[in-house]
Structure 1
Amino acid sequence: MAEDISGKGDPLRSLLLLWGKTEPGKRGPKSKVELKALVAAAVEIADKEGIEAVSTRRVAEAVGISAMSFYTHIPDKAVLIDLMLDAIAAGPVDAPMPVFDPARWRDNITLVATAYRDFYLQHPWALQVSTHRPVLGPNTLRAYEAILIAVDGLGLSEVEMDMTVTLITNYVFGAVRDVARANMVKRQTGLSDDEWWYAIAPFLETIDFSPYPTAARVGPVVGELYGLGDPDLAFTFGLERLLDGIAALVEARA
């Protein structure tokens, strides 16, 4: 299956639609369906069934128009994906821009990172979409502004601020992907992680682990504590280590 990629469609057409602008020289009859209704329908389908379930025909049917009528609003699925990503980027509609105290920067980054993680858990299909080229819509820029504010006032240069944001978002992306994968595996196999361990436990007891002494020592302790892994514990541990690294940079700049 081909990977869905943001920025794959006509970039100018995407930007015009993202910002609610009309192509020069183009004017047509007013449609009974608004663009945001199409995008909202696509997001709902993706949230429930995954990005692979989203098609121009499915979205058109969801809002009660023909597949051909869909193309009078959005040229193709590639542009639709750009619109979907931007629609969900800023979180709840009309949410106020956060106000951060630079003195509490660790709390600020923790808040932003946790919100970013919750975003992916709510819209796991976004993990499947390659976003090498940014979707420069109003909601995406608002989200970027919000996370930049969390690292502003720390004495970092503009480049260091942007790189710190990239560090945070890349960490969250990797951490939450494991959670989304675990949910997908449970859904597809019908087995929880605990049930899977119980199923294979008798065979594991027949294995000679002496060639792997470190694994034999660590594995049982970890398994007793949280099986295949407690995603909340792992996320918090990784984020704390990340914050420690940022703290070293902040102290060096101070």
Structure 2
Amino acid sequence: MKISHISKKEISKGEDIIGLDIREGIFNLIKSDFPDFDKDDFITIDELNQYRRLYLTSLIIQEKGELALIDRNVLEAIKNNSILSENIQDEIEAELTFGQRLADRVAAFGGSWTFIITFFSFIIFWMLVNIWFLATKPFDPFPFILLNLILSCLAAIQAPIIMMSQNRQEQKDRQRGEHDYKINLKAELEIKLLSEKIDHLLVHQNKKLLEIQEVQTDYLEDLMKELKKK
């Protein structure tokens, strides 16, 4: 039974990785932690994957310098095998204050046909009341100065509320963009890890095939010797 050079524990069958099959960058990273690690020593596939993740982290640091918080979150997710996909809409809604929720609702109502038809009907009703029903003593005679004042106040209040809602929408779009970036980055790094595993499996499989061919060659040689003797 083979012993892991890192954990000093027995390695299950099929889980052993010899140092000779490890890429140079990852091998050097292991050797930095275990100076006596050699090409003939063995480690487990889980230990190799752990150092692969550390190696990817070091490559990103070399390429981008100091890691941003979003990159550290992705690497932490890879390290813990956690999932980044989440219901970001619920997370965004949970962080809203009462004022932000109210601004979103007012902006949604102010930009609807319901608001346009309702307010237009109100204006027509206001004008008819002052021109027709209260023709002798209208409370807002033509040119409807009070109505203009109400409209001006409404526009002054509605404009900043709509701007608040637009700022919230920009923040939502930015959070969605960061979320998509994290998922894409994690997918790219996972593909790299998967490629490393496939390379290892191919090398391991080729070695097994060569061993099988050598054994078959030995059988053929033995058969040829027996035939020559007869």
Establish whether TM, by shorter chain, passes 0.5: no
Higher relative contact order (CA 8 A, sep 6+): 1
